[in-house]
Chains A and B, each alone.
Chain A
Amino acid sequence: MATLDLVNVQKSFGSVKVLHDISIGMAHGEFLVLVGPSGCGKSTLMNIIAGLEEPSGGNLRLAGRDITQLAPADRNISMVFQSYALYPNMTVAKNIEFPLEMRKVEKSKRAERVQSVAKLLQIEHLLERKPRQLSGGQRQRVAIGRALAREPQLYLFDEPLSNLDAQLRLDMRTEIKKLHQRLGATIVYVTHDQIEAMTLATRIAVMKSGILQQLGTPYEVYNKPANLFVAGFMGAPRMNLAKARLSGTGRELALEIQVGDRPRVIIPLPPQSAAVQEYAGRDVIAGVRAEAISYVRPGMTPVPGMQHVVQAHVEVIEPTGADTLVVLDLGGAEFTARLEPDLDLKPGQDAAFLIDLTKLVCFDPSTEAAIF
C-alpha cells in the first residue's frame, strides 16, 4: 500500500532551473503519467524519484517514509527503462532474478518468483534465452518482469514503449493497462506521447520547461485544459484555437471571429461564468475540439443554447478511415473538424456546421490561462 508525495521538488543545474517547485500527491494504486515535450523535465523528475539524481530542494515521501536522501536501492522502487536495460550477459531468468539476488532473497523463493512472474507475462518459454535472442516486444516483457519480481512499493516506467514499432506499441499499451488493473500498483510513467498518457493514466501531469502545467484526470486535461499549452499539446488533431472578440454584456455574450477581410462569424454563447463575463468587450482565445464540430445534415435542428450553426468554407479533406478530418475556414481562422467518413463534401464548398457550445473553452490572450 504505497502513496507517493512530491513536495516542492526543485532541480537546478548551475543557474539553470530545470524543475520549478513540483508538488504532486499520489494515492495508492494511482497511475500517474508525466507527459510533455522533450526537455520539459519529466525524465529529470523521474530520475529524482528513482534516486538517480538528487533534487536541489524539496522532499519525497513514499508510503509516508522520507526517501529524499536514500540510495536508489533502498527506496523499494523498480524501474523499466526505455532501452529495456536487460543485462546482456545473463539469461532472461537470471535477469528477472537479479534484483532478488542482490537483496539476498533465498534461492528457492527466487526461483518461485521468477516462475510466477514469467507465467503472468507469458514468457516462460524464453527463460533460458539471452536478451539478444529476443524481439523488441519480448525484451519489453522481460524488463517489466524484472521490475515485478521484487514486488516494490512503486513502479517507474521511463518511455517504455517508444522503441517498439507502432502495432506492438498499441498491444503493449493495453498489456500495461491490464497489468495495472490486475496488480493495483502505484505507477509513475513518463512519455512524450499524449495518446499514451490519455489511455493509461488515472491522472496526468502535463509539464513544460520544468513547470507543472496541469495535474488532473485525462478527462479534465482533455476537456478543461488549464492553459493554451495543455490545450495544444493534448489531443490529435490539436484543439482549434482562434482569436475572438467577446461581445455583449452579462449573460448575453457572443464570440466574434474575424481574421483579415473574411466575413465575420458570430457565435452566441450560453450563459457563462462570472470570470468569463468580466472579459466582455475584450479579446479572448477561443478553443474548440475537432470532435465538437459536426456536419449539419438536412432536417437537423440545433439544440438552442447548446449548439450553434455556422457557415464555413471547406478547404482540405483528410480521410483517416475511421473518421475524416476536414479543415474549415471560419471567419478567416482555420478550424479542423472530425467528421463521419461517408460525408459528401468537396474542397472549396461552403456548408453548414454545428458547434457544440458546451465544449467551448476561452483563454486569456496575455496570460494564456483558461478562463472558467
Chain B
Amino acid sequence: MASAQTATSSGRGFDASRVALYVVLLFLALLFLMPIYVMVVNSFKPLDEIRSGNLMSVPIEWTVEPWLAAWSTAQIGVQPTGLRPYFVNSFLLVVPAVVISTLIGALNGYILTQFKFRGANLLFAAMLFSVFIPFQIVLIPMAKTLGLLGLAGTVKGLIFVNVVYGIGFTTLFFRNYYAAFPNELIRSARIDGAGFWGVLGRILLPSSAPIIVVTVIWQFTNIWNEFLFGASFSDYSSFPLTVALNNLVNSSTGVKEYNVHFAGAFIAAIPTLIVYLVSGKYFVRGLMAGSVKG
C-alpha cells in the first residue's frame, strides 16, 4: 500500500515496472484460481451440460443437485451414503490427532530447550528425521505395529499414526519458539516455586499462542489432506474423507458424474480453506516469530 502510494506520487502517474509486476501477479493469481473456478461452475451444472458444453462456461441451468448427491446419496462403499459419514470420520481423526500432537510437541520443545541433558541434540535430530522420511517406507512396519496394538482398521489407529508422524514437525516448531523464549522468565518461575508442569502450564503455554496457531493449522491441513495412511490403515467404517473422495471418483458403476465429483472435492477442501482464511495471518506471523530468533 505504502509503496504503491510512493509510486503514484513520483510524478509520472505510474511506473512501467510496477505495472508489469502487477500484470504478472494477476496472471499468476488467475492461474491458481482457474481450477477452483472450473470446480465451482461445473459442480452447479447438470451432467448433460458438462458433456455437451465446454468446461469454462457458466451454468445455463443452475442446480444444487450434485452437491446434495455428493453429501448424502453418492455411492462410495457398499451403501449410497454420500461423503457425510466420512466427513465425520475425518473430524474424529483430525481433532484428537491435532490436539495430541500439538501438546506432545509443546512438551518436547520445553524439555529440549530447558533441560540440557546428554544426547538432547541427537534426540532432536532423530525426531527431525521423521520430517524428511518418505512415508511409504514406514507403511509395512506401521501396519505390523497397529496389528500388535489391536488398532488396525480403526480411527484410533489412524490417530496414532498421524500423531507419531506429526511429532517431528510440532517438536521443531515448539523447540525453536521456546529456544527464543526469555530464559529469565523460566528461572524466575522456578525460584517462585513453579515445578516442571507449573512452568509449562502457567508460563510457557499461555505465552505460546502464535506457535500454537501455526502448529494447529499445519497439523490440521496435513492430517485432513492425508491420503496414504488413510488408504493403507483404514477399512470401510473408518475411511477418512480423502479416501472416500477417491472411491467416489473411481467408482466404476455407470456413468462418471463429473458434477458430483467436483462438488465432493470442494466439500473436502472447505474445512482447510476456512482454517486458512480465519487464521492465515497468524500463520505467517507465527512462522516468523518462531524462525527469526530460533
Contacts and interface: CB of A to CB of B under 8 A. Distances in A.
A85 B202 CA distance: 14
B191 A78 contact: yes
- Of listed A51, A87, A90, A146, residue having the most chain B CB within 10 A: A87
Contacts of B48: none
A2 to B, nearest CB: 16
Contacts of A71: 190
Contacts of A260: none
B187 interface: yes
A103 interface: yes
Contact of B184 (A72, A73, A85, A98): A85
B193 A99 contact: yes
Interface string A72-85: 11000111011101
A81 B194 contact: no
B184 A82 contact: yes
B134 interface: no
Contacts of B203: 87, 89
A320 B109 CA distance: 53
Contact of B192 (A52, A83, A88, A102): A102
Contacts of B182: 83, 85
28 contacts: A51-B191, A52-B187, A72-B187, A72-B190, A72-B191, A73-B193, A73-B194, A73-B195, A79-B188, A79-B191, A81-B184, A81-B188, A82-B184, A85-B185, A85-B187, A87-B188, A87-B202, A87-B203, A87-B207, A89-B206, A90-B206, A98-B192, A99-B191, A99-B193, A102-B192, A102-B194, A102-B198, A146-B192
A290 interface: no
Contacts of B189: 87, 98
Contacts of B188: 79, 81, 85, 87
Contacts of B194: 73, 98, 102
Contacts of A79: 187-188, 191
B207 A89 contact: yes
A51 B188 CA distance: 11
A62 interface: no
Nearest to B209: A89
A187 interface: no
A78 B187 CA distance: 11
Interface string B190-234: 111111001000110011000000000000000000000000000
Contact of B193 (A52, A90, A103): A103
B178 to A, nearest CB: 14
B186 to A, nearest CB: 9
Given A72-B187, A79-B191, A87-B207, 13 more contacts: A72-B191, A78-B192, A81-B184, A83-B184, A85-B185, A85-B188, A87-B185, A87-B189, A89-B206, A99-B192, A102-B198, A146-B192, A150-B192
A102 B202 CA distance: 10
Contacts, number: 59
Interface of A is mostly: loop
B193 A88 contact: no
A269 interface: no
A293 interface: no
A45 interface: no
B282 to A, nearest CB: 17
A145 to B, nearest CB: 13
- Of listed A88, A98, A150, residue having the most chain B CB within 10 A: A98
A19 to B, nearest CB: 19
Nearest to A47: B187
Contact of A50 (B191, B193, B202): B191
A312 B206 CA distance: 67
Contacts of A50: 187, 191
Nearest to B198: A102
Nearest to A74: B193
- Of listed B190, B193, B203, B206, residue having the most chain A CB within 10 A: B193
Nearest to B206: A89
Interface string A13-28: 0000000000000000
Interface string A85-120: 101111000000011001100000000000000000
A78 to B, nearest CB: 7
A330 B56 CA distance: 97
Interface string B79-110: 00000000000000000000000000000000
Contacts of B195: 73
A85 B192 CA distance: 11
A73 B195 CA distance: 8
Contacts of B198: 102
A102 B188 CA distance: 12
A79 B193 CA distance: 12
Contacts of A72: 187, 190-191
A103 B198 CA distance: 12
A128 to B, nearest CB: 17
Nearest to B205: A89
A102 B193 CA distance: 5
Contacts of B193: 73, 99, 102-103
A146 B182 CA distance: 18
Nearest to B194: A102
Contacts of B185: 85, 87-88
B207 A52 contact: no
Contacts of B206: 89-90
A81 B187 contact: yes
A289 B190 CA distance: 45
A78 B193 CA distance: 10
Contacts of A85: 182, 184-185, 187-188
Nearest to A78: B191
B214 to A, nearest CB: 18
